[in-house]
Amino acid sequence: MTPLRKRMIEDMQLRNLAAGTQKHYLRLVAAFAKYFGLSPEVLDIEAVRQYQLYLLNERKLSPESINQCIAALKFLYLVTLEMPWTDEYFPHVRRAYKLPIVLSQEEVLCFFDHIPSLKYRAALMVCYGAGLRISEALALRVSDIDSKRGLLRIEQGKGAKDRYAMLSPRLLQVLRRYYRATPHPDATLNDYLFPSWRKDRHLSTTSLSLACRDAAARAGIAKRVTVHTLRHSFATHLLENGTEIRVIQALLGHTRIDTTARYASVSPRVVAATVSPLDKLGAPPQPAANTKRSKK
């Protein structure tokens, strides 16, 4: 291990970056150094610019992938190497705004009817019924289920934050049915709710994603359905049912309200139920409520 790599690992550990983020940053920086055949210590900001253009024009990578690479290089140069540069030296590629794909309630019901495995069905129902990310659902342990208060404890979700998610009575029934039907030899409360065949590991994200894709195909759903689509559908259906957007923000674990507000754009019921100002033209004004008592 080179001194620079060791220093960067220590810097990421001191800032409590997630283990997955640390590994990803190291891979991206290694690819950057391999492209030039030089250590990043001897490369300047012009090399970062050239590499960004290479990823964009030759590799044809998505804006998300390029921006991840820029974030890794920014950490390397500003934190580890302590270069006197500013954020303006690391411009991000502008991403196209795309609305999330959402299933209707009828499509969700049909989707669940075409999942043959009890374990996969329970895991995917958690993603929809509680609005969890795939990593959050698979990391659940038996002790995270608070059946008395109707809550799921999400430990160290995105952004290394703990939070509570809803546990509806129907979802609790599904989880109880799954747990009773699945053998759990020598089980403890600290065990994963959805264990892998490998000891002390939970079900992999790849296997659950494949089960999700296969179920959508069997159900005849033409939309591109991923596990995250269930989370989008959860938020949209809550909004359609009249749930306050701040409550939805808390349930999803969003830091910014504008991230949650985009679900108003994909809900046809919310859009259709909104009264256009055109319909108000020429309408008689509504009488103001008389708050004064009439004199006798």
- Which one is catalytic: 5, 153, 228, 262? 228
pLDDT in tens, 111-157: 999 998 899 999 999 999 888 999 999 999 989 999 888 888 988 65
Predicted local confidence at residue 134, as pLDDT: 92
| pLDDT reported for residue 296 | 46
Element at 219 (helix H, strand E): none
292 is catalytic: no
Inter-CA distances, 246 with 232, 252, 256, Å: 16, 10, 10
Question: Hey, what domains does the chain have and what are their CATH numbers?
Answer: 3-89 (1.10.150.130), 105-272 (1.10.443.10)
Q: Which of 74, 121, 202, 231 is catalytic?
A: 231
Confidence of residue 158 (pLDDT cuts 50, 70, 90): low
Q: What is the pLDDT of residue 281?
A: 66
User: Catalytic site residue 163?
Assistant: no
Kindly report the average pLDDT of the chain as a whole number.
85
Q: Mean pLDDT lowest for which of 3-12, 73-82, 155-164? A: 155-164
Whole-number Å distance between alpha carbons of 120 and 108: 15
Active site residue 296: no
Across 268-294, average pLDDT: 58
Q: Catalytic one among 133, 202, 232, 237?
A: 133
* Catalytic (active site) residue 141: no
Element (H, E) at 12: helix 3-14
Q: Exactly one of 24, 213, 254, 262 is catalytic; name it.
A: 254
Burial of 252 (0-12, 13-18, 19+ CB in 10 A): buried
Task: Name which of 110-114, 187-191, 241-245, 283-287 the model is least confident about.
Answer: 283-287
pLDDT tens by residue, 8-41: 999 999 998 888 899 999 999 999 999 999 999 9
pLDDT score of 294:
46
* pLDDT at position 267 over 70: no
How many of the other CB atoms lie within 10 Å of CB of 132? Answer: 26
Q: With a cut of 60, say whether residue 293 has pLDDT above it.
A: no
To the query of whether residue 263 is one of the catalytic residues in this protein, the response is: yes
pLDDT in the model for residue 225 = 93
pLDDT at 271 over 80: no
pLDDT at 287 over 80: no
Cα dihedral sign, 234-239-243-244: positive
The catalytic position among 141, 153, 158, 218 is 158
229 backbone dihedrals φ, ψ, rounded to 5°:
-60, -35
129 contact partners, CB below 8 Å, separation of at least 6: 166, 168, 170, 171, 174, 234
Q: Which amino acid is at 7?
A: R
